[in-house]
Amino acid sequence: QVQLQQSGAELVKPGSSVKISCKASGYTFTSYDMHWIKQQPGNGLEWIGWIYPGNGNTKYNQKFNGKATLTADKSSSTAYMQLSSLTSEDSAVYFCAIGKFAYWGQGTLVTVSS
Amino acid sequence: DIQMTQSPASLSASLEEIVTITCQASQDIGNWLAWYQQKPGKSPQLLIYGATSLADGVPSRFSGSRSGTQYSLKISRLQVEDPGIYYCLQGYSAPYTFGAGTKLELK
């Protein structure tokens, strides 16, 4: 069965960067777009972008250009999202999802605080 | 960007009651509409895809429909496990966009 296992919660300082992961299993990693979604506390869902692990192609929501960088490691079937120049506005739960959002990871909480 | 206007923002209903949630797309998205249920501390769970197709394992009391650019999720007989936040998602064109959510509670 499809499983997306995300890395654990992160507490990071303003101005720093963080890299969170999403390890995939149960399907061919290189055959499906991996999407990333942001959910701020008490707020709705916002699409960040996708990466196609087969060739590394990416597409970003313009709002997250320069904020998020998506990569993928085919050898470990793991997708990554790096968030840079963090502010309090980046404090959120981040999800990975595949299959046109049919399958989701459990989410990674990122808290930006000094 | 395609805007998804979801209503109502919140809803309180009794057991066995019929519940309907709607999403209005700002432009044609064909059948590229999905519905999700999210419970506290969990990831969204797919209920409906392709506007009307029931996802695997989802009870048949959930159904989706489309009229032009308006999409609806119907719960035919509300059950105790159905409260949560419901979201629509347009997967027609990037940036993919979600509705603001409907918080469903039991009366």
Mean pLDDT (whole number) for B21-31: 98
Mutate to test the interface with A, among B96, B97, B102 (most CBs of A within 10 A): B96
Instruction: Report yes or no: B63 and B71 within 8 Å, Cβ to Cβ.
Output: no
* Average pLDDT over every residue of B33-61: 97
The residue of chain B with its CA nearest to that of A45 is: B98
User: DSSP string of B38-61?
Assistant: E-TTS--EEEEETTTEEPTT--TT
What sign does the CA torsion over B15, B102, B59, B77 have?
A: positive
pLDDT at residue number A100 = 86
Residue B9 touches chain A, beta carbons under 8 Å: no
**In which residue are the tokens 């603001």 written?**
B100
Strand spans (E) along B1-107 = 4-7, 10-13, 19-25, 33-38, 45-49, 53-54, 62-67, 70-75, 84-90, 97-98, 102-106
The string of pLDDT tens digits covering residues B63-94 is 999 999 999 999 999 999 999 999 999 999 99
B100 and A CB contact within 8 Å: yes
**Chain B within 8 Å of A52 (Cβ-Cβ)?**
no
* Mean pLDDT, all residues of chain B: 97
Please state the rounded mean pLDDT for residues B18-23: 98
pLDDT in tens, A11-51: 999 999 999 999 999 999 999 999 999 999 877 899 999 99
Query: Chain B closest CA to A49's CA: distance in Å?
Result: 8
**Tens-digit pLDDT profile for residues A41-91:** 877 899 999 999 999 999 999 999 999 999 999 999 999 999 999 999 999
Q: What is the mean pLDDT of residues B7-12?
A: 97
Interchain pair B43, A106: CB under 8 A: yes
Cβ contacts below 8 Å, chain A against chain B, sum to 45
% pLDDT > 90, chain B: 100
Residue among A44, A61, A62 whose CB faces B87 most closely: A44
| CB–CB contact A102 B46 (8 Å) | yes
Distance CA B12, CA A70 (A): 40
State whether residue A53 sits within 8 Å of chain B by CB: no
Structure-token match 């959120």, residue found: A92
The pLDDT score that the predictor gives to residue A21 is 98
User: A56 — alpha (psi -120 to 50), left (phi > 0) or beta?
Assistant: left
Percent of all residues in chain B with a pLDDT value above 70, rounded to a whole number: 100
